[in-house]
Homo-oligomer: A and B are copies of this chain.
């Protein structure tokens, strides 16, 4: 097994010092082309792979990025994770994926991830921006909030973000709903919505209703306890029982998928009786019957951007960056004008 060959062996075999091999390994500038080539040949010949644990020990950190996801099974995140993983891979970074449940604390999870595994940076997906996030700022690990609403009052200089304008996008689509003749609209938000995307999307929804002279009573909003189809199903059931509406806006496609089934089970037709509009733009939405009208976030671009920003920060090119993407309404059979 040509396995346990180490840098010392390579040095001896190449007739140079360990330092030189190390320099070759790390692309240090001050090593002559000739020796660099020679060393590389020996490395190749013995298929030597540097021991990462030793490297990490010296460097005091791991060539890894922690990715903390709240609600990992949501296809929207899965899609992004796929991109993030391959981008990180291309940069030879390891992805340390950590999933937290809806009722777990993602900050605590991130904190122990940082302490135990010492990644160079962090990406958050899902969850909300809580106050305790300053705790993270204190660790000197840069992080980017992808897809997570940042409230106005927060100090933006200690982290980066990749988001859409949740309020504005919800407002825009609700306006479209109103313009379509729907004067009675309902919505499904997310229960724990202190500072989550849900809050802004629901606010955008409500404000647009008000601005367009539609009914916007509290009865028209139900809150799901989870970002799952089941939660969407249950929330829609409650709405159907307590109010009348011709259009239902869901702050997540997954909730919409559940809601559609609940509406169907209650005997209504979509979109003839009730239109449904989702948010996110997951692939499943285009295949279900009726296909789901939704607000599509540019998930792949957002994923790329998250990694790009994090790398820029790690390379000292910037201390932080906040990027806001634009979403696009995606037509679907589940929505029609009255």
Contacts and interface: CB of A to CB of B under 8 A. Distances in A.
A73 B62 contact: no
A213 to B, nearest CB: 33
A52 B117 contact: yes
Contacts of A284: 229, 257, 284
A117 B94 contact: yes
Given A49-B115, A85-B97, A287 B75 contact: no
A211 interface: no
A54 B57 contact: yes
A72 interface: yes
A52 B118 contact: yes
A86 to B, nearest CB: 7
Contacts of A117: 52, 94
Nearest to A72: B82
Choose among A49, A60, A78, A89 the residue with the greatest number of B CB atoms under 10 Å from its CB. A78
As for how many copies of this chain the complex holds, the number is 2
Interface stretch (A38-46, A125-133, A258-266, A303-311): A258-266
A49 B261 contact: no
A44 to B, nearest CB: 14
A77 to B, nearest CB: 9
A243 interface: no
Contacts of A137: none
A116 B75 contact: no
Given A57-B51, A117-B52, A117-B94, A86 B73 contact: no
Contact of A49 (B94, B116, B283, B287): B116
A288 B284 CA distance: 10
Main secondary structure of the interface of A (DSSP, over half): helix
A210 B41 CA distance: 59
B72 A99 contact: no
Contacts of A73: 75, 78-79, 82
A95 interface: yes
A108 to B, nearest CB: 13
A216 to B, nearest CB: 28
A156 to B, nearest CB: 23
A26 interface: no
Interface string A71-93: 01101001101100110010000
A289 interface: yes
25 contacts: A49-B115, A49-B116, A52-B116, A53-B118, A56-B56, A57-B57, A73-B78, A73-B82, A75-B78, A85-B98, A85-B99, A89-B98, A94-B96, A94-B117, A97-B97, A228-B283, A229-B286, A229-B287, A233-B287, A261-B287, A261-B288, A261-B291, A264-B289, A288-B289, A289-B289
Given A53-B56, A56-B56, 15 more contacts: A52-B117, A53-B60, A73-B79, A75-B75, A78-B78, A85-B99, A94-B117, A95-B97, A97-B97, A228-B283, A229-B284, A229-B287, A257-B287, A258-B287, A261-B289
Interface of A: 49, 51-54, 56-57, 60, 62, 72-73, 75, 78-79, 81-82, 85-86, 89, 94-99, 115-118, 228-229, 233, 257-258, 260-261, 264, 283-284, 286-289, 291
- 10 A-B pairs closest in CB distance: A53-B56, A53-B57, A261-B287, A229-B287, A73-B78, A97-B97, A49-B115, A288-B288, A54-B57, A57-B57
